[in-house]
Chains A and B, each alone.
Chain A
Amino acid sequence: MSGSALPLEIVDLRTTLFTRRGEMKAVDGLSLTVGAGETVALVGESGCGKSLSALSIMRLLPDPPARIVGGQVKLNGRDIVPLPEETMLGIRGKEIGMIFQDPISSLNPVTTVEKQIVEVLMTHTELGRGQARVRAHELLELVGMPDAARRLDAYPHQLSGGMCQRVVIAMAIACSPSVLIADEPTTALDVTVQAQVLALLKKLQADAGMAMIFITHDLGVVAETADRVVVMYAGRKVEEASVDELFENPLHPYTVGLIGATPTPGAERAERLADIPGMVPPLNALPQGCAFAPRCTRVMDRCLTEKPALTVPGPGRLVACFAAERG
């Protein structure tokens, strides 16, 4: 464990779903790195393997059916994939924090906010109950909970979605983790609240220098939060670029399609939003070649028979597409 190790480095992660209908490669050789203070967005449609990637990093896969079958997840230089469950208990919530999609259902409905925050503090720190309660109050203020002292006694159903998400964030950062995984943290929220939560996450991340993986299907959110973007399709990384480069010059036809399908405020009103025809193929029936080929506008013969490997079209960029290679 060297001091210069990246907070998070994923190497060739493979997660497979073992089902009655066969094995499905939900995450197929994903590699990515996140530096301290950096935000990497994981983007793709539903079912592309984003959330399973996040749960793989947490080692919280629903087993059965899902299991990590290969690769490494290095947390501050240490591979956590082979670690026993007892060791993982000390890592979850302490070294990796996680924020979930639906804030209200992410909190236990029959327990007060305070107890839920205190619980994570008492699991991972030496704080006594009294100190943990003081700390819980501080954390709620840190995440900008209005009227924090009074909210400690509240139950989740007495709070709005935005307030619940602040509680979940408070729990995730309570032990100052080096990595924060946010799985669609704003999808279930109103747009105004979305903006507040995003601003909060950015501020907390900057203050603590956390590495953040931000999972979303919303490219508007990506543009606001991420430094780098990894686009996933059918369990594989198809493109990676800095956020500016990705929006300026998307290389993979799928990325082009995603950006085209995002509404832009300045656009002509009459202009129809582009969509990507077809659907993500089921994981147990992936085509032999490129998984995106059946929906691709630039499909070639080669795409139908051969899987494109990741290539380096420029500094800091990766793309897996034969058409993009040719330019």
Chain B
Amino acid sequence: MAGELVSPTPALRGSARRTAALRLLRRRLIQAVPLMLGVVIINFCLIQMAPGSFLELMTAENQVSDPATVALLRKTYGLDDPVWMQLLKYIWALLHFDFGFSYRQNMPVIQAIWIHLPATVLLMVSSIALAISIGVAAGVVASMKVRTFWDSLVSIAAMFFYAAPSFWLGIMMIVLFSVKLGWLPVGGMMKIGGNGGVLDILHHLILPTLALGLFYAAIYTRVMRSSMLEVAQLDFVRTARAKGLSRNKVTIHHVLRNALLPVVTILGVQMGTVLAGSVVIESVFSWPGVGSLLFDSVSSRNYPVVLGIMVLGSLVVIAANIAVDLIYMWLDPRIEIR
């Protein structure tokens, strides 16, 4: 078979693709180390630049004015060291999973964050799941009914939810669904005195998920619609139709999977903004997550907690991006792993 060169990469069978995925995972984890170091240094410096320290607020709140006590506290919290020394000590402590101590909660920072983390992860996961399912479905419908009433309806709705600030949307939904209609709770994560049953939590989860997720759903709808329309023009779609497949089969089996790729890409990029958005939504809905903790800690200059949340938040974003990379690899076999 002159002229038909044997492909340089042999077909990736199941096990080969798994090995490739593991290689990717290892590479990304190694890359994450300098990234995290950068995150820690930058955030540490940012907090150093912020005026005042938590000690001032702490002493004022407890009406401590004795200079000797203040000096002792400064020494306890290591505030007398030069900044670079504090940074090195902080990094060294981080390596031992020690994020410092939160005087407000009177517990280690890691523990304070750990208590609030599940609520935030739940909100993020449900919002992203909502955004992807609505975004993909609406994008597919709009692309299949392109330039019809349905397409316009989807576009207008997407524009609205894209433009509406999520805190405003949250408040409006509280007014409508909680105050006027009384269908859904105003805020919190479970009934007061409730034992945190699954249904109770889901009931409380609906509004915050909508408020946070619809913005992203709007973005994915627009991206999915244009991606579907673009892929539908490609040659292999014509081949699929020439095989006698119905329009729906062509759309689902051939267009959809290829069209998902850009959505997955922006999903990875936006993971950080979803986390940031949850801070706002959590305070609107009194959702007892990391966002509420962050808001409270910033107001009380509880900097060890703020710093800890930023570091852990970066970890979550990096982990989510690795997951997105793996999904991308699974969706598109052309992605060769370098």
Number of residues in A with C-beta < 8 Å to the partner? 45
* Contact A168 B3, CB 8 Å, known A90-B244, A108-B254, A151-B11: no
Contact of A119 among B1, B7, B234, B253 (CB under 8 A): B253
A106 touches B235 (CB 8 A): yes
B96 on the interface (CB 8 Å rule)? no
B193 interface contact, C-beta 8 A: no
Binds A, one of B35-43, B211-219, B330-338: B330-338
Give min CB distance, B44 to chain A, whole Å.
43
- Render B1-24 as a binary contact track against A, CB cut-off 8 A, 1 for contact: 111111101111100000000000
Interface residues of A in 143-187 (CB under 8 A from B): 144, 146-147, 150-151, 153-155, 157-160, 162-163, 168, 171-172
**Residues in A neighbouring B11, C-beta threshold 8 A:** 150-151, 153-155, 158
Most B C-beta atoms less than 10 A away, residue of A119, A190, A196: A119
In the bound complex, residues from chain A placing their C-beta under 8 Å from that of B4 are 146, 160, 162-163, 193, 196
Given the interface pairs A158-B11, A160-B7, A193-B3, the reply to whether A107 lies near B241 with Cβ below 8 Å is no
**Given A93-B244, A123-B244, residue A150 in contact with residue B235 (CB < 8 A):** no
Q: Which of B3, B243, B331 contacts A171 (CB 8 A)?
A: B243
Residue of A nearest to B13 (CB): A153
In the complex, how many angstroms separate the beta carbon of B237 from the nearest chain A beta carbon?
A: 8
CA distance A129 to B67 in the complex (A): 82
Q: What is the size, in residues, of chain B's interface with A at 8 Å between Cβ atoms?
A: 32
Chain B residues with Cβ under 8 A from A91's Cβ? 244
Residues of A within 8 A of B10 (CB): 150, 158
Q: Are A109 and B332 in contact (CB under 8 A)?
A: yes
Measured between beta carbons, the chain A residues less than 8 angstroms from B111 are: none
Residues of B within 8 A of A2 (CB): none
The answer to whether A157 and B334 have CB atoms under 8 Å apart is yes
Tell me if A249 counts as interface (CB < 8 A to partner B): no
Contact B239 A158 (CB under 8 A): no
Contacts of B2 in A (CB 8 A): 192
Residue of B nearest to A159 (CB): B7
Supply 8 further A-B pairs (C-beta < 8 A) apart from A90-B244, A123-B245, A196-B3.
A89-B245, A98-B242, A153-B11, A162-B1, A163-B4, A172-B242, A193-B4, A196-B1
- 25 A-B pairs with CB atoms under 8 Å apart are A92-B241, A92-B242, A92-B243, A92-B244, A93-B245, A98-B242, A105-B235, A106-B235, A106-B239, A109-B236, A109-B333, A110-B332, A111-B257, A119-B240, A124-B244, A146-B4, A147-B6, A150-B11, A153-B11, A153-B12, A155-B333, A157-B333, A190-B3, A193-B4, A196-B4
4 nearest A-B residue pairs (beta carbon): A93-B244, A192-B3, A92-B244, A93-B243
